[in-house]
Amino acid sequence: MGLDQMIYGNTLGAWLMAAGIYAATTLALWLLERYALRGFTRFARGTQTAVDDLVADVLSETKFGLILFVALFAASLALQLDPTVALVIRRAAAIAIVVQGGIWASAALAFWVSRFVDQMAGEDAEAVTMVSALSFVGRLVVWSVVLLLILDNLGVEVAALLAGLGIGGIAVALAAQNVLGDLLASLSIILDKPFVIGDFLVVGDQQGTVESIGLKTTRLRSLGGEQLILGNSDVVNTRIRNLGRMEDRRGMLRIGVTYDTPREVLARIPGWIEEIADAQEEVRFDRSHLSGFGDSAVEFDTIFYMTVPQYDRFMDAKQAILLAIHERFERAGVAFAYPTQVVYTIPAGDDSGAEASGAAAPAEDTSSERAPAGG
């Protein structure tokens, strides 16, 4: 039996050549996968650059079984095959290449996401959430393209299919518009970053610390301890007060002293308060003035700023200022005003006077910070 003997439309020599091409291609791919790729991976781990790590991770996802279809297609080129058989082999090789490309694209996306999360974990929580959400969308797009390419290779009319999917997608979008609205709002929150995990928010009449930002809901932990679950679209469409990004905190004190306080003492009170405020750590004094004559007190208004936003430290400083003011007034003999009423009487038949009254009010603190959410 010679090499010129015909077998299924091809000579024995052609069949042997095709077998040799298939074996050589398969062996070459196996050697590349087993030795070259593993050596490159060890090299990439020893360098500081990310590009070689990316290439190593992507190539490590090569599926040897899929590459065999490429070897089969290469071998078939040496043969004269029935058109139907040749078409099947060509389509199988094309589908294998498309699927392998999808696997490589997913691996590259997973590598980037993993590297980003490792770098930003604990520093930018909302960016981690954004990348996790976008990576899912990215994988969905990749495999959608892969599926369409496979269908196109199988002879399916992709244009007609896309048109039908478009009509169906519109119907689904109308039925799930609330869910899609929350999904788009989550992307808006993630990309625009009006707040991040850990910020203290006031959203309408709700307030709390951001615990998580999901695809549909944002979850807050309120001051009372309960969890508040808000739809992302509701959050986006509401005015938000983000107290987590305060750089400092404003405080106001209103103090009233009695009217019998000497004028020279009244003139020194703003200076006393300034000295007391300046003595506190992390406090920036702004101003203190005699602001008016009340019904029963001479009133002083004081403005100061806490250079750190934490409410508990603000209240500690405010308490220290008030106690120091009380101690200073006590040493100087200055009395805080408190509600009193003085009644003057005149003898019967004396029309020269009339009954009058006066009052005095105690020290009053009208600080704008009424709750830990105050600003």
**pLDDT band, very low/low/confident/very high, at 147 (cuts 50, 70, 90):** confident
Pick the more confident residue, 304 or 187.
304
Pick from 219, 143, 214: nearest CA to 185:
214
CATH code of the domain in which 200 resides: 2.30.30.60
Mean residue pLDDT across the chain: 78
How would residue 365 be classed by pLDDT, with cut points 50, 70 and 90?
very low
Domain check: are 122 and 218 in the same one? no
- pLDDT at residue 237 in the model: 85
> pLDDT category, 99, cuts 50, 70, 90?
confident
The string of DSSP letters for 14-52 reads HHHHHHHHHHHHHHHHHHIIIIIHHHHHHHHHTSS-SHH
Please give the Cα distance from 18 to 4 (Å, whole number). 15
Q: Has residue 266 got a pLDDT over 90?
A: yes
The more confident residue out of 141 and 256 is 256
Rounded average pLDDT over 299-323 = 92
Q: For residue 185, tell me if it sits in a domain.
A: no
Residue 4 binned pLDDT confidence (cut-offs 50, 70, 90): low
Report, as an integer, the average pLDDT of 67-77.
78
* Average pLDDT value for residue range 132-147: 78
**Is residue 137 situated within a structural domain?**
yes
Q: Where are the beta strands (DSSP E) in 117-203?
A: 200-203
Three-state DSSP at 234 gives helix
Q: The domain containing residue 133 runs over which residues?
A: 6-174
Tell me the sheet residues that pair with 252. Answer: 303
152-165 residue pLDDT tens: 777 777 676 666 65
- The per-residue pLDDT for 217 is 84
| 95 inside domain | yes
| Same domain assignment for residues 233 and 251 | no
Would you say residue 304 has pLDDT above 50?
yes
3 state DSSP class of 99: helix
146 pLDDT exceeds 60? yes
Q: What is the pLDDT of residue 372?
A: 42
Which of 3-17, 277-291, 320-334 comes out lowest in average pLDDT?
A: 3-17
Which of 120, 145, 174 is the last residue before a domain boundary? 174
Q: What is the tens place of the pLDDT at every residue in 171-224?
A: 555 555 566 677 777 777 777 778 888 888 888 888 898 888 877 888 899 888
289 compared with 197, residue with greater pLDDT: 289
Confidence check: pLDDT of 82 > 90: no
Amino acid 370: pLDDT: 39
Of 141, 174, 207, which marks where a domain is finished? 174
Residue 292 binned pLDDT confidence (cut-offs 50, 70, 90): very high
Q: What is the pLDDT of residue 269?
A: 95
- Assess whether 28 and 13 both reside in one domain: yes
Looking at the chain, the whole-number percentage of residues with pLDDT higher than 90 is 19
Residue 28: count other Cβ atoms within 10 Å of its Cβ.
13
| Shared-domain flag, residues 204 and 128 | no
Which of 211, 228, 245 lies at the terminal end of a domain, its last residue? 245
One domain for residues 25 and 130 = yes
Instruction: Check whether residue 45 and residue 161 sit in a common domain.
Output: yes
- With b for 16 or more beta-carbon neighbours within 10 A and e for fewer, the 226-257 pattern comes to eebebbbbbbbeeeebbbeebebbbbebbbbb
130 has pLDDT over 70: no
Residues 32 and 155 in one domain: yes
Sign of the Cα torsion 334, 299, 254, 205 reads positive
Residue 233 maps to a domain: yes
pLDDT of residue 373: 41
Number of domains, the chain: 3
The length of the chain is 375
- Which residue has better confidence, 249 or 114? 249
The reply to whether 215 and 361 lie within a common domain is: no
pLDDT tens for 315-359 read 999 999 999 999 999 999 999 988 777 777 887 765 554 444 444
Q: Assess whether 167 and 261 both reside in one domain.
A: no
pLDDT of residue 367: 41
Shared domain for 363 and 233, answered yes or no, is no
State the sign of the Cα–Cα–Cα–Cα dihedral 315, 316, 322, 326: positive
**Is residue 231 situated within a structural domain?**
yes
Q: Does residue 20 sit in the same domain as residue 36?
A: yes
Residue 126 has pLDDT above 70, yes or no: no
Q: Is residue 310 part of a domain?
A: yes
pLDDT at 363: 43
Q: Is residue 1 part of a domain?
A: no
204 lies in a domain? yes
Same domain, 240 and 257: no
